[in-house]
Structure 1
Amino acid sequence: MKHPHFLENQVRREIKYAMTSLPCISVPTVALFFAEVRGYSKLYDSVDDSPLGWSGLFLSMISFLFFTDMCIYWVHRFLHHKLIYKSFHKPHHVWKIATPFASHAFHPVDGFLQGLPYHIYPFLFPLHKVLYLALYVFVNIWTISIHDGDYRVPSALSSVINGAAHHTDHHLFFDFNYGQYFTLWDRLGGSYRQPSALMGKGPLDLIRKLQAEGKLGNDTAKVNGLAQRGASCKQE
Protein backbone atom coordinates (compact mmCIF):
# COMPACT_ATOMS: atom_id res chain seq x y z
CA MET A 1 0.00 0.00 0.00
CA LYS A 2 3.07 2.25 0.19
CA HIS A 3 3.83 1.83 -3.51
CA PRO A 4 3.53 5.06 -5.56
CA HIS A 5 1.02 3.37 -7.89
CA PHE A 6 -1.29 2.31 -5.06
CA LEU A 7 -4.38 4.50 -5.35
CA GLU A 8 -6.11 6.48 -2.65
CA ASN A 9 -8.89 4.43 -1.04
CA GLN A 10 -8.04 1.65 -3.47
CA VAL A 11 -9.29 -1.32 -1.44
CA ARG A 12 -12.65 0.36 -0.86
CA ARG A 13 -12.88 1.15 -4.58
CA GLU A 14 -11.97 -2.41 -5.57
CA ILE A 15 -14.63 -3.85 -3.25
CA LYS A 16 -17.26 -1.41 -4.48
CA TYR A 17 -16.51 -2.18 -8.14
CA ALA A 18 -16.56 -5.94 -7.53
CA MET A 19 -19.83 -5.79 -5.59
CA THR A 20 -21.56 -3.80 -8.32
CA SER A 21 -20.23 -6.01 -11.12
CA LEU A 22 -20.74 -9.48 -9.61
CA PRO A 23 -24.58 -9.40 -9.67
CA CYS A 24 -24.48 -8.51 -13.37
CA ILE A 25 -21.95 -11.26 -14.08
CA SER A 26 -24.04 -13.75 -12.11
CA VAL A 27 -27.22 -13.42 -14.19
CA PRO A 28 -25.90 -15.05 -17.41
CA THR A 29 -23.64 -17.32 -15.35
CA VAL A 30 -26.58 -18.78 -13.44
CA ALA A 31 -28.36 -19.36 -16.76
CA LEU A 32 -25.40 -21.45 -17.90
CA PHE A 33 -25.39 -23.37 -14.61
CA PHE A 34 -29.07 -24.21 -15.10
CA ALA A 35 -28.35 -25.53 -18.58
CA GLU A 36 -25.44 -27.58 -17.26
CA VAL A 37 -27.28 -29.28 -14.41
CA ARG A 38 -30.54 -29.85 -16.32
CA GLY A 39 -29.05 -32.28 -18.78
CA TYR A 40 -27.73 -30.13 -21.60
CA SER A 41 -24.09 -30.69 -20.64
CA LYS A 42 -21.92 -33.77 -20.15
CA LEU A 43 -21.86 -33.50 -16.36
CA TYR A 44 -22.43 -36.78 -14.55
CA ASP A 45 -23.30 -37.78 -10.96
CA SER A 46 -21.33 -40.97 -10.32
CA VAL A 47 -17.78 -42.11 -11.02
CA ASP A 48 -19.39 -45.20 -12.58
CA ASP A 49 -20.71 -42.89 -15.31
CA SER A 50 -17.19 -41.75 -16.20
CA PRO A 51 -15.99 -43.24 -19.51
CA LEU A 52 -12.64 -44.08 -17.85
CA GLY A 53 -13.66 -44.51 -14.21
CA TRP A 54 -11.41 -42.93 -11.57
CA SER A 55 -8.63 -42.35 -14.09
CA GLY A 56 -11.13 -40.38 -16.17
CA LEU A 57 -11.88 -38.24 -13.12
CA PHE A 58 -8.20 -37.35 -12.78
CA LEU A 59 -7.74 -36.77 -16.52
CA SER A 60 -10.78 -34.49 -16.65
CA MET A 61 -9.32 -32.37 -13.85
CA ILE A 62 -6.03 -31.95 -15.75
CA SER A 63 -7.73 -31.31 -19.08
CA PHE A 64 -10.08 -28.76 -17.45
CA LEU A 65 -7.09 -26.74 -16.24
CA PHE A 66 -5.26 -26.84 -19.56
CA PHE A 67 -8.38 -26.20 -21.64
CA THR A 68 -9.51 -23.22 -19.58
CA ASP A 69 -5.97 -21.85 -19.37
CA MET A 70 -5.77 -21.87 -23.17
CA CYS A 71 -9.19 -20.26 -23.61
CA ILE A 72 -8.65 -17.59 -20.98
CA TYR A 73 -5.31 -16.66 -22.53
CA TRP A 74 -6.99 -15.87 -25.85
CA VAL A 75 -10.04 -14.22 -24.29
CA HIS A 76 -7.75 -12.08 -22.14
CA ARG A 77 -5.59 -11.16 -25.10
CA PHE A 78 -8.71 -10.30 -27.12
CA LEU A 79 -9.82 -7.98 -24.31
CA HIS A 80 -6.54 -6.10 -24.72
CA HIS A 81 -7.29 -5.31 -28.37
CA LYS A 82 -7.43 -1.56 -28.87
CA LEU A 83 -11.04 -1.68 -30.06
CA ILE A 84 -12.18 -3.61 -26.98
CA TYR A 85 -9.84 -2.62 -24.17
CA LYS A 86 -11.19 0.80 -23.16
CA SER A 87 -14.80 -0.32 -23.06
CA PHE A 88 -14.43 -3.51 -21.05
CA HIS A 89 -10.98 -4.38 -19.69
CA LYS A 90 -9.47 -1.03 -18.78
CA PRO A 91 -11.40 -0.77 -15.45
CA HIS A 92 -9.49 -3.81 -14.19
CA HIS A 93 -6.16 -2.23 -15.13
CA VAL A 94 -6.83 0.81 -12.99
CA TRP A 95 -5.34 -1.34 -10.21
CA LYS A 96 -1.66 -1.36 -11.17
CA ILE A 97 -0.67 -2.62 -7.73
CA ALA A 98 -3.60 -4.93 -7.12
CA THR A 99 -4.94 -6.39 -3.88
CA PRO A 100 -6.95 -9.63 -3.52
CA PHE A 101 -10.10 -7.50 -3.80
CA ALA A 102 -9.12 -6.51 -7.34
CA SER A 103 -9.40 -10.14 -8.41
CA HIS A 104 -13.13 -9.81 -9.10
CA ALA A 105 -13.23 -6.07 -9.79
CA PHE A 106 -14.05 -6.45 -13.49
CA HIS A 107 -16.45 -4.82 -15.89
CA PRO A 108 -19.41 -7.26 -16.07
CA VAL A 109 -18.75 -8.13 -19.73
CA ASP A 110 -15.06 -8.67 -18.99
CA GLY A 111 -15.83 -10.86 -15.98
CA PHE A 112 -18.37 -12.97 -17.85
CA LEU A 113 -16.11 -13.51 -20.88
CA GLN A 114 -13.17 -14.59 -18.73
CA GLY A 115 -15.43 -16.98 -16.83
CA LEU A 116 -17.01 -18.42 -19.98
CA PRO A 117 -14.35 -21.13 -20.62
CA TYR A 118 -15.25 -22.79 -17.29
CA HIS A 119 -18.80 -23.23 -18.55
CA ILE A 120 -17.90 -24.26 -22.08
CA TYR A 121 -15.84 -27.21 -20.86
CA PRO A 122 -18.70 -29.38 -19.44
CA PHE A 123 -20.69 -28.93 -22.65
CA LEU A 124 -17.77 -30.45 -24.58
CA PHE A 125 -16.24 -33.00 -22.19
CA PRO A 126 -17.52 -35.36 -19.47
CA LEU A 127 -17.02 -33.99 -15.94
CA HIS A 128 -18.18 -35.12 -12.51
CA LYS A 129 -20.56 -32.60 -10.92
CA VAL A 130 -18.76 -32.50 -7.57
CA LEU A 131 -15.37 -32.15 -9.27
CA TYR A 132 -16.79 -29.31 -11.36
CA LEU A 133 -17.88 -27.49 -8.21
CA ALA A 134 -14.47 -28.07 -6.60
CA LEU A 135 -12.68 -26.78 -9.70
CA TYR A 136 -14.93 -23.74 -9.83
CA VAL A 137 -14.05 -22.91 -6.23
CA PHE A 138 -10.37 -23.52 -7.00
CA VAL A 139 -10.26 -21.14 -9.97
CA ASN A 140 -11.81 -18.37 -7.89
CA ILE A 141 -9.22 -18.91 -5.15
CA TRP A 142 -6.49 -18.95 -7.80
CA THR A 143 -7.77 -15.68 -9.26
CA ILE A 144 -7.55 -14.11 -5.81
CA SER A 145 -4.05 -15.52 -5.25
CA ILE A 146 -2.52 -14.00 -8.39
CA HIS A 147 -3.67 -10.57 -7.21
CA ASP A 148 -2.53 -10.88 -3.60
CA GLY A 149 1.03 -9.55 -3.88
CA ASP A 150 2.63 -12.69 -2.44
CA TYR A 151 5.32 -13.34 -5.04
CA ARG A 152 6.78 -16.46 -3.47
CA VAL A 153 6.82 -19.52 -5.71
CA PRO A 154 9.03 -22.64 -5.69
CA SER A 155 12.00 -21.86 -7.93
CA ALA A 156 11.50 -25.10 -9.86
CA LEU A 157 8.00 -23.97 -10.84
CA SER A 158 8.60 -20.26 -11.41
CA SER A 159 9.00 -20.70 -15.17
CA VAL A 160 5.90 -22.90 -15.46
CA ILE A 161 3.31 -21.52 -13.03
CA ASN A 162 1.72 -18.13 -13.64
CA GLY A 163 1.71 -16.76 -10.10
CA ALA A 164 1.23 -13.38 -8.47
CA ALA A 165 4.65 -12.17 -9.61
CA HIS A 166 3.77 -12.87 -13.24
CA HIS A 167 0.33 -11.29 -13.01
CA THR A 168 1.65 -8.22 -11.21
CA ASP A 169 3.87 -7.55 -14.21
CA HIS A 170 0.79 -7.91 -16.40
CA HIS A 171 -0.87 -5.08 -14.47
CA LEU A 172 2.29 -2.97 -14.55
CA PHE A 173 3.52 -3.58 -18.09
CA PHE A 174 0.22 -4.39 -19.82
CA ASP A 175 1.25 -6.54 -22.81
CA PHE A 176 2.70 -9.52 -20.97
CA ASN A 177 1.67 -12.59 -18.96
CA TYR A 178 -1.95 -13.02 -20.01
CA GLY A 179 -2.11 -16.61 -18.73
CA GLN A 180 -4.22 -17.91 -15.87
CA TYR A 181 -2.38 -20.89 -14.33
CA PHE A 182 0.56 -21.63 -16.60
CA THR A 183 3.10 -19.73 -18.67
CA LEU A 184 2.70 -22.10 -21.65
CA TRP A 185 0.52 -19.92 -23.85
CA ASP A 186 2.43 -16.75 -23.04
CA ARG A 187 5.57 -18.50 -24.25
CA LEU A 188 3.84 -19.78 -27.38
CA GLY A 189 2.23 -16.39 -28.02
CA GLY A 190 5.39 -14.37 -27.44
CA SER A 191 3.92 -12.50 -24.48
CA TYR A 192 5.94 -14.05 -21.66
CA ARG A 193 7.89 -11.74 -19.36
CA GLN A 194 10.18 -12.93 -16.59
CA PRO A 195 8.59 -11.46 -13.43
CA SER A 196 10.34 -8.40 -12.07
CA ALA A 197 9.65 -9.49 -8.50
CA LEU A 198 11.65 -12.69 -9.05
CA MET A 199 14.62 -10.66 -10.29
CA GLY A 200 14.75 -8.26 -7.35
CA LYS A 201 13.05 -5.46 -9.30
CA GLY A 202 9.45 -5.83 -8.18
CA PRO A 203 7.07 -3.53 -6.29
CA LEU A 204 8.33 -4.58 -2.86
CA ASP A 205 11.92 -3.94 -3.95
CA LEU A 206 10.97 -0.44 -5.11
CA ILE A 207 9.29 0.27 -1.78
CA ARG A 208 12.37 -0.87 0.15
CA LYS A 209 14.58 1.28 -2.08
CA LEU A 210 12.42 4.37 -1.61
CA GLN A 211 12.27 3.81 2.14
CA ALA A 212 16.04 3.46 2.31
CA GLU A 213 16.38 6.74 0.42
CA GLY A 214 13.84 8.44 2.69
CA LYS A 215 11.52 9.16 -0.21
CA LEU A 216 8.36 7.53 1.15
CA GLY A 217 7.01 10.12 3.53
CA ASN A 218 3.60 11.75 3.86
CA ASP A 219 4.32 14.27 1.13
CA THR A 220 1.68 13.46 -1.48
CA ALA A 221 3.27 15.67 -4.14
CA LYS A 222 6.59 13.89 -3.68
CA VAL A 223 4.97 10.47 -3.95
CA ASN A 224 3.07 11.48 -7.08
CA GLY A 225 6.28 12.82 -8.59
CA LEU A 226 8.04 9.54 -7.89
CA ALA A 227 5.19 7.65 -9.54
CA GLN A 228 5.48 9.76 -12.69
CA ARG A 229 9.27 9.47 -12.88
CA GLY A 230 9.36 5.79 -12.06
CA ALA A 231 6.48 4.65 -14.27
CA SER A 232 7.76 2.26 -16.90
CA CYS A 233 4.36 0.82 -17.75
CA LYS A 234 2.59 1.55 -21.01
CA GLN A 235 0.32 4.56 -20.92
CA GLU A 236 -3.17 3.47 -21.88
Structure 2
Amino acid sequence: MTPDIDFTSPSTFLITALFIFLGIFGRYVGTALVFNLLVKGAYKHKLAHREVQIRPRRSRQDMVEIGWSFVTSIMFAIAGTLMIVAWQKGYTQIYLDWDTYPLAWFPVSILIVLFLHETYYYWLHRWMHRPKVYRLVHKVHHDSITTSAWTSFSFHPIESTFQALFIPALTFFMPLHVYAIGIVLTIMTFTSAVNHLNTELYPRDFQRHWFGRWWIGATHHSLHHSQFRYNYGLYFTFWDKWMHTESPDFVKLFDKKTRRESKGSGEEVGVKVH
Protein backbone atom coordinates (compact mmCIF):
# COMPACT_ATOMS: atom_id res chain seq x y z
CA MET A 1 0.00 0.00 0.00
CA THR A 2 1.41 3.39 -1.00
CA PRO A 3 -0.02 6.89 -0.44
CA ASP A 4 -1.99 8.76 -3.11
CA ILE A 5 0.51 11.64 -3.04
CA ASP A 6 2.67 11.76 -6.15
CA PHE A 7 6.20 12.16 -4.82
CA THR A 8 7.58 12.43 -8.35
CA SER A 9 5.93 15.83 -8.72
CA PRO A 10 8.76 18.43 -8.49
CA SER A 11 6.94 20.53 -5.90
CA THR A 12 5.99 17.53 -3.76
CA PHE A 13 9.51 16.13 -4.07
CA LEU A 14 11.03 19.40 -2.85
CA ILE A 15 8.54 19.79 0.01
CA THR A 16 9.15 16.20 1.10
CA ALA A 17 12.92 16.69 0.90
CA LEU A 18 12.59 19.87 2.97
CA PHE A 19 10.63 18.13 5.72
CA ILE A 20 13.06 15.20 5.77
CA PHE A 21 15.97 17.65 5.92
CA LEU A 22 14.40 19.48 8.86
CA GLY A 23 13.92 16.15 10.62
CA ILE A 24 17.50 15.00 10.00
CA PHE A 25 19.21 18.28 10.80
CA GLY A 26 16.92 18.91 13.75
CA ARG A 27 17.65 15.45 15.12
CA TYR A 28 21.39 16.08 14.71
CA VAL A 29 21.24 19.45 16.47
CA GLY A 30 18.98 18.17 19.24
CA THR A 31 21.11 15.08 19.90
CA ALA A 32 24.37 17.04 19.87
CA LEU A 33 22.94 19.69 22.18
CA VAL A 34 21.67 17.14 24.69
CA PHE A 35 24.98 15.27 24.85
CA ASN A 36 27.05 18.44 24.98
CA LEU A 37 24.86 19.91 27.73
CA LEU A 38 25.17 16.73 29.76
CA VAL A 39 28.91 16.29 29.30
CA LYS A 40 29.94 19.93 29.37
CA GLY A 41 27.24 21.10 31.76
CA ALA A 42 25.27 18.99 34.19
CA TYR A 43 27.84 16.18 34.54
CA LYS A 44 31.01 18.10 33.67
CA HIS A 45 32.70 17.56 37.03
CA LYS A 46 31.69 13.91 37.27
CA LEU A 47 32.92 13.11 33.74
CA ALA A 48 35.97 15.39 33.52
CA HIS A 49 38.40 12.51 34.12
CA ARG A 50 36.75 10.56 31.27
CA GLU A 51 37.57 13.15 28.62
CA VAL A 52 39.74 11.70 25.84
CA GLN A 53 41.07 15.03 24.61
CA ILE A 54 44.28 14.69 22.64
CA ARG A 55 44.45 18.34 21.60
CA PRO A 56 42.28 21.37 22.43
CA ARG A 57 39.45 22.01 19.98
CA ARG A 58 40.10 24.89 17.61
CA SER A 59 38.20 28.15 17.81
CA ARG A 60 35.04 28.13 15.67
CA GLN A 61 35.37 24.36 15.20
CA ASP A 62 31.77 23.87 16.31
CA MET A 63 30.49 26.24 13.62
CA VAL A 64 32.57 24.60 10.89
CA GLU A 65 31.25 21.17 11.86
CA ILE A 66 27.66 22.40 11.99
CA GLY A 67 28.11 23.89 8.52
CA TRP A 68 29.33 20.60 7.04
CA SER A 69 26.56 18.77 8.92
CA PHE A 70 24.01 21.09 7.32
CA VAL A 71 25.27 19.94 3.89
CA THR A 72 25.30 16.31 5.03
CA SER A 73 21.66 16.62 6.11
CA ILE A 74 20.76 17.91 2.63
CA MET A 75 22.44 14.87 1.02
CA PHE A 76 20.66 12.51 3.42
CA ALA A 77 17.32 14.24 2.75
CA ILE A 78 17.71 13.86 -1.03
CA ALA A 79 18.59 10.17 -0.64
CA GLY A 80 15.62 9.65 1.69
CA THR A 81 13.21 11.35 -0.71
CA LEU A 82 14.52 9.28 -3.63
CA MET A 83 13.91 6.18 -1.50
CA ILE A 84 10.30 7.26 -0.95
CA VAL A 85 9.84 7.77 -4.72
CA ALA A 86 11.30 4.32 -5.41
CA TRP A 87 8.99 2.83 -2.76
CA GLN A 88 5.94 4.49 -4.31
CA LYS A 89 6.94 3.12 -7.72
CA GLY A 90 7.18 -0.38 -6.26
CA TYR A 91 10.92 -0.74 -6.74
CA THR A 92 11.79 -1.33 -3.08
CA GLN A 93 10.82 -4.00 -0.57
CA ILE A 94 9.78 -1.56 2.15
CA TYR A 95 6.54 -2.68 3.79
CA LEU A 96 4.03 -1.17 6.22
CA ASP A 97 1.75 -4.11 7.03
CA TRP A 98 3.07 -6.14 9.98
CA ASP A 99 1.49 -9.28 8.50
CA THR A 100 3.62 -9.12 5.36
CA TYR A 101 6.47 -11.02 7.05
CA PRO A 102 6.72 -13.00 10.32
CA LEU A 103 7.09 -10.71 13.32
CA ALA A 104 10.44 -12.32 14.15
CA TRP A 105 11.82 -10.90 10.91
CA PHE A 106 11.55 -7.37 12.31
CA PRO A 107 14.37 -7.60 14.93
CA VAL A 108 16.37 -9.97 12.71
CA SER A 109 16.22 -7.51 9.82
CA ILE A 110 17.56 -4.72 12.06
CA LEU A 111 20.52 -6.87 13.12
CA ILE A 112 21.24 -7.82 9.51
CA VAL A 113 21.16 -4.18 8.41
CA LEU A 114 23.54 -3.21 11.22
CA PHE A 115 25.94 -6.01 10.24
CA LEU A 116 25.82 -5.14 6.54
CA HIS A 117 26.16 -1.43 7.26
CA GLU A 118 29.13 -2.11 9.51
CA THR A 119 30.78 -4.21 6.81
CA TYR A 120 30.11 -1.64 4.10
CA TYR A 121 31.37 1.25 6.19
CA TYR A 122 34.50 -0.50 7.50
CA TRP A 123 35.79 -1.22 4.01
CA LEU A 124 34.61 2.13 2.63
CA HIS A 125 36.38 3.81 5.53
CA ARG A 126 39.63 2.01 4.85
CA TRP A 127 39.37 2.95 1.17
CA MET A 128 38.78 6.59 2.12
CA HIS A 129 42.09 6.53 3.98
CA ARG A 130 44.03 5.89 0.78
CA PRO A 131 46.08 9.10 0.35
CA LYS A 132 44.51 10.42 -2.86
CA VAL A 133 40.97 9.52 -1.78
CA TYR A 134 41.55 10.86 1.73
CA ARG A 135 42.46 14.34 0.53
CA LEU A 136 39.40 14.57 -1.69
CA VAL A 137 36.75 12.78 0.36
CA HIS A 138 37.62 12.15 4.01
CA LYS A 139 39.89 14.98 5.12
CA VAL A 140 36.97 17.22 6.08
CA HIS A 141 35.92 14.79 8.79
CA HIS A 142 39.48 14.35 10.06
CA ASP A 143 40.04 18.08 10.31
CA SER A 144 38.34 17.46 13.67
CA ILE A 145 41.18 15.76 15.54
CA THR A 146 39.53 16.37 18.89
CA THR A 147 35.88 15.63 18.28
CA SER A 148 32.56 16.46 19.92
CA ALA A 149 28.95 15.53 19.28
CA TRP A 150 28.92 18.27 16.61
CA THR A 151 31.47 16.25 14.61
CA SER A 152 29.07 13.34 14.13
CA PHE A 153 27.66 14.57 10.78
CA SER A 154 30.63 16.69 9.65
CA PHE A 155 31.48 15.15 6.26
CA HIS A 156 32.45 16.24 2.77
CA PRO A 157 29.45 15.97 0.38
CA ILE A 158 31.08 13.06 -1.48
CA GLU A 159 31.46 11.10 1.75
CA SER A 160 27.92 12.07 2.74
CA THR A 161 26.67 10.62 -0.54
CA PHE A 162 28.52 7.33 0.04
CA GLN A 163 26.93 7.11 3.47
CA ALA A 164 23.46 8.27 2.45
CA LEU A 165 22.96 5.76 -0.37
CA PHE A 166 23.60 2.53 1.53
CA ILE A 167 20.26 2.00 3.30
CA PRO A 168 18.11 3.22 0.36
CA ALA A 169 20.03 0.84 -1.92
CA LEU A 170 19.53 -2.00 0.56
CA THR A 171 15.74 -1.59 0.42
CA PHE A 172 15.78 -2.69 -3.22
CA PHE A 173 16.94 -6.16 -2.16
CA MET A 174 15.94 -6.65 1.48
CA PRO A 175 12.42 -6.48 2.98
CA LEU A 176 12.37 -3.82 5.67
CA HIS A 177 9.48 -2.49 7.71
CA VAL A 178 9.43 1.29 7.73
CA TYR A 179 9.86 1.22 11.53
CA ALA A 180 12.95 -0.96 11.18
CA ILE A 181 14.46 1.73 8.94
CA GLY A 182 13.56 4.35 11.52
CA ILE A 183 15.20 2.36 14.33
CA VAL A 184 18.40 1.87 12.33
CA LEU A 185 18.58 5.59 11.55
CA THR A 186 18.01 6.42 15.22
CA ILE A 187 20.80 4.03 16.26
CA MET A 188 23.05 5.64 13.64
CA THR A 189 22.42 9.14 15.00
CA PHE A 190 22.78 8.13 18.65
CA THR A 191 25.98 6.09 18.21
CA SER A 192 27.58 8.71 15.98
CA ALA A 193 27.03 11.37 18.66
CA VAL A 194 28.28 9.11 21.47
CA ASN A 195 31.32 7.93 19.50
CA HIS A 196 32.39 11.49 18.69
CA LEU A 197 31.61 12.85 22.13
CA ASN A 198 35.26 12.55 23.19
CA THR A 199 34.14 11.65 26.71
CA GLU A 200 33.74 7.98 27.58
CA LEU A 201 30.18 7.26 28.77
CA TYR A 202 30.34 3.49 29.10
CA PRO A 203 31.14 1.97 32.51
CA ARG A 204 34.41 0.62 33.80
CA ASP A 205 35.42 -2.72 32.24
CA PHE A 206 32.74 -2.33 29.56
CA GLN A 207 35.34 -3.22 26.93
CA ARG A 208 35.68 -6.63 28.61
CA HIS A 209 31.92 -7.30 28.75
CA TRP A 210 30.56 -9.91 26.31
CA PHE A 211 28.69 -7.15 24.46
CA GLY A 212 30.93 -4.18 25.24
CA ARG A 213 34.02 -5.74 23.69
CA TRP A 214 32.24 -5.63 20.33
CA TRP A 215 30.63 -2.18 20.72
CA ILE A 216 32.32 1.11 19.83
CA GLY A 217 32.37 4.09 22.19
CA ALA A 218 34.07 7.47 22.47
CA THR A 219 37.49 6.16 23.53
CA HIS A 220 37.63 3.72 20.64
CA HIS A 221 36.68 6.27 18.00
CA SER A 222 38.74 9.14 19.44
CA LEU A 223 41.82 7.02 18.75
CA HIS A 224 40.83 6.84 15.10
CA HIS A 225 40.81 10.63 14.90
CA SER A 226 44.16 10.96 16.65
CA GLN A 227 45.99 7.99 15.12
CA PHE A 228 44.26 7.72 11.70
CA ARG A 229 45.29 4.14 10.88
CA TYR A 230 43.29 2.30 13.54
CA ASN A 231 39.66 1.77 14.59
CA TYR A 232 37.72 2.09 11.33
CA GLY A 233 34.46 0.61 12.62
CA LEU A 234 31.06 2.30 12.71
CA TYR A 235 29.04 0.46 15.39
CA PHE A 236 31.09 -2.62 16.17
CA THR A 237 34.72 -3.60 16.70
CA PHE A 238 34.63 -7.03 15.04
CA TRP A 239 36.12 -6.00 11.69
CA ASP A 240 38.89 -4.09 13.46
CA LYS A 241 39.62 -7.16 15.57
CA TRP A 242 39.46 -9.57 12.62
CA MET A 243 41.64 -7.38 10.40
CA HIS A 244 44.04 -6.38 13.20
CA THR A 245 43.28 -2.67 12.84
CA GLU A 246 42.24 -2.00 16.42
CA SER A 247 44.53 0.45 18.21
CA PRO A 248 46.95 -1.20 20.64
CA ASP A 249 46.32 1.78 22.95
CA PHE A 250 42.57 1.22 23.24
CA VAL A 251 42.26 -1.05 26.28
CA LYS A 252 44.86 0.87 28.27
CA LEU A 253 43.26 4.23 27.47
CA PHE A 254 39.74 2.94 28.24
CA ASP A 255 40.95 1.61 31.60
CA LYS A 256 42.63 4.92 32.37
CA LYS A 257 39.57 7.00 31.51
CA THR A 258 37.05 4.88 33.40
CA ARG A 259 38.94 4.85 36.69
CA ARG A 260 37.80 7.84 38.74
CA GLU A 261 41.18 8.36 40.37
CA SER A 262 42.85 8.89 36.97
CA LYS A 263 43.02 12.45 35.71
CA GLY A 264 45.55 12.17 32.88
CA SER A 265 45.13 12.93 29.20
CA GLY A 266 45.46 10.50 26.33
CA GLU A 267 49.11 11.37 25.83
CA GLU A 268 49.91 10.52 29.45
CA VAL A 269 48.94 6.91 28.88
CA GLY A 270 51.12 6.48 25.84
CA VAL A 271 48.73 7.30 23.00
CA LYS A 272 50.73 7.99 19.86
CA VAL A 273 49.28 10.91 17.93
CA HIS A 274 49.96 10.87 14.18
- Contact kept, 8 Å, 1:159 with 1:183, in 2: the verdict is yes
Query: 2:257 matched to 1:206?
Result: no
Please state how far the C-alpha of 1:71 moved relative to its aligned partner: 0.8
What percentage of residue pairs aligned between the two structures are identical? 24
Query: What CA deviation, in whole Å up to 9, does each residue of 1:87-118 have, x standing for no partner?
Result: 11001001111011111110011112123322
Shift of 1:201: 6.8
SS for the counterpart of 1:7 is coil
CA distance in 1 between counterparts of 2:188 and 2:164 reads: 10
Residue 57 of structure 1, CA deviation: 1.1
Cross-structure match for 1:39: 90
8 Å contact 1:92–1:107 — kept in the other structure? Answer: yes
For 1:233, give the aligned amino acid: V
Counterpart check, 1:197 vs 2:253 = yes
Q: Which runs of 5+ in 1 are unaligned?
A: 210-229
Describe the shift of the 1:37–1:174 C-alpha distance in structure 2 as closer, same or farther (beyond 3 A): farther
Instruction: Give the number of aligned pairs.
Output: 211
Task: Report the equivalent of 2:138.
Answer: 89
Spell out, residue by residue over 1:48-94, the C-alpha distance to the aligned partner (whole angstroms, 9 max, x if none): 111xx111112111111111111111111111111200011001001
Shift of 1:36: 3.5
Distance 1:3 1:81, change over 3 A: closer
Matches within 5 A, 1:105-124: 105-124=154-173
| Deviation of the 1:197 alpha carbon | 3.3
For the pair 1:147 / 2:196, whether they are aligned, the reply is yes
AA matched with 2:264: D
Match of 2:118 in 1: 69
Mapped partners of 2:247, 2:77: distance in 1: 33
Q: C-alpha offsets along residues 210-232 of structure 1, whole Å, 9 cap, x if unaligned?
A: xxxxxxxxxxxxxxxxxxxx993
Q: Secondary structure at the match of 1:172?
A: helix
Tell me the amino acid that sits aligned with residue 48 of structure 1. Answer: D
Which runs of no fewer than 5 residues in structure 2 stay unpaired? 1-39, 41-52
Residue 19 of structure 1 and its aligned partner are, at CA, apart by: 1.9
* 1:13 alignment partner, one of 51, 58, 64: 64
Contact 1:37 1:43 in 2 (8 A): no
SS in 1 for 2:165: helix
Match of 2:105 in 1: 56
How far apart, CA to CA, are the structure 2 residues paired with 1:46 and 1:93? 42
